[in-house]
Every structure is written in structure tokens, then in C-alpha cells.
Amino acid sequence: MTSMDCAPTENAVMGGRVKLLQPRRGYRIAVDAVLLAAAVDARPGERVLDLGAGVGAVGLCVAARVPGCDVTGIELQPALAALAERNARLNDAADRVRTLVHDLAQPLPAALGPFDHVATNPPYLPASVADPSPDRSKALATVESSADLARWLTVATGALKSAGSLLAIHRSDRLEEIVAILARLGWGDVTVKRLPPAARVLVRARAAGGLRRREAEPLVLHRAGGGYTDEAEALLRHGQPLAF
């Protein structure tokens, strides 16, 4: 039995402000989704694209924090996209949060138009080195398949307005690969925010003719004795934005 065969559970993030139905087993959201959403500097009236939307956690967290923004999610797995649509209704956000089933190996539908912000949490592992989960849904969420990292970033930057911003969260050991791809794509104005002790980085990119890279102050997630820091609590439980 795969995760898609099980009745979903209902959970909540951002201190209960966002409710989420998600598979009982298999891939389930982690704090990465909430941190990514917190980094999206959207304003009311702006359009946000969530690539790899899953059950819609990133888009719904952005929508809860920024009333009046419009969110479109793109998800490969129909079952997860269906849960994302249910989650939009569960959070009374169906009028401005929608999820489409689409494979990023193919061009995005032209009718979507350009976006002010793109948020993405690509699969962390390249297929060449991964030992994928026997749960197919979890494997698709964690291991690159029809679209590798370069393709994800190509689609992401191609969907943006010229003055837009890309926000991505990924493994820190792939940071140099991400920066090099973005520079080749003409999105080399890159800011990196590390998330110790987690082996994760947040990357913000804007259009630039050459590589301009800087390191923002890290966000320390955990106290030495355990538990989240006050700064992390403000993001994860109270819906505060994450400043770069």
C-alpha cells in the first residue's frame, strides 16, 4: 500500500493559521515549506508561483501572511494536487490559491503569464546518487525524475517578470551548483541564507548580467539545548516574514 492509498491526516502549521490535509504515510511536509514561504517578499496584488507545490503548504502559508496575493501551484502528482485544491478550500483561499497538474519537463502553459515571485523546493537528490524510497509518491518528491535541478531553475526563472524574485530552499551541499546555474540563466544577483544546524540553504535570486553573490546573516533554527530559537519560532509559528 502506498501513501496515496491511505486517508489523509489533517495537520496545521504557522500556529494553526494554515490547516493541511496530507498523506498519512510517505512524503509529509517539514519546516522547509514554512521557511520558504516566509522568504517570499510578496505584496497584496502580486502573483506567486509555487513550483513543486505538493499539498499546497508553501502557497497557503504565503496567502495566509499576505492577504490579496494570488498563488498558483504546479505539481506533478495528481493525488497531491487534488489535496492541495482541498486544502485551499479548507483554508477559505480557493478564490486566490489554485494548483495545476503539470510536468516541469514540459513548458509551462503560456496562459499563466509572468509572476512577481517564484518559490520552489525542488527534489533534493539527483537520480544518479539517490536510493529512492519504495513509496513512489515520496520518491518523486525527494529524487529528481523527469526534470533535474537545472530544468527546475530554468522553468522558475523563465516564469518571472524581469524585476521578479526567485526563492528556493535546497541542500547546502548543492549550493554551488545552484549558484552556477542561476548565473548561466542571467539570474546571478544571488543572496544566500544558511539555516544552521540544518544542512539547508535559502537562496534568493534576481536578474543580473553577471554574478553578484552575498551571504545574508544566517538563521539559527535550534537552541544549543534543544527547541527552536526565538527567531525561528517567529517564522514557524507566528507567520513573520524572513528578512534577507
What DSSP line would sit under 141-200, residue for residue? Answer: HHB--SS-HHHHHHHHHHTEEEEEEEEEEEEGGGHHHHHHHHHHTTEEEEEEEE-TTSSE
Which of 213, 104, 93 has the alpha carbon at shortest distance from 154? 104
Q: What angle do CA 121, 17, 25 make, to 5 degrees?
A: 55
Q: Would you state the pLDDT for residue 160?
A: 98
What confidence tens digit (pLDDT) does each residue in 165-205 have?
999 999 999 999 999 999 999 999 999 999 999 999 999 99
Asked if 42 and 69 touch (Cβ cutoff 8 Å), the reply is yes
Residue 65 has pLDDT above 60, yes or no: yes
Report the amino acid identity of residue 238: H
Mean pLDDT of the chain: 91
Ordered structural domains, the chain, with CATH: 30-233 (3.40.50.150)
What are the tens digits of pLDDT across the range 198-224?
Answer: 999 999 999 999 999 999 999 999 998
Higher pLDDT, 156 or 5: 156
Do the beta carbons of residue 243 and residue 35 sit within 8 Å?
no
| Residue 142 pLDDT > 70 | no
Query: pTM for this structure?
Result: 0.91
DSSP assignment letter at 129: T
Q: Checking phi first, is residue 113 left (phi over 0); if not, alpha (psi -120 to 50) or beta?
A: left
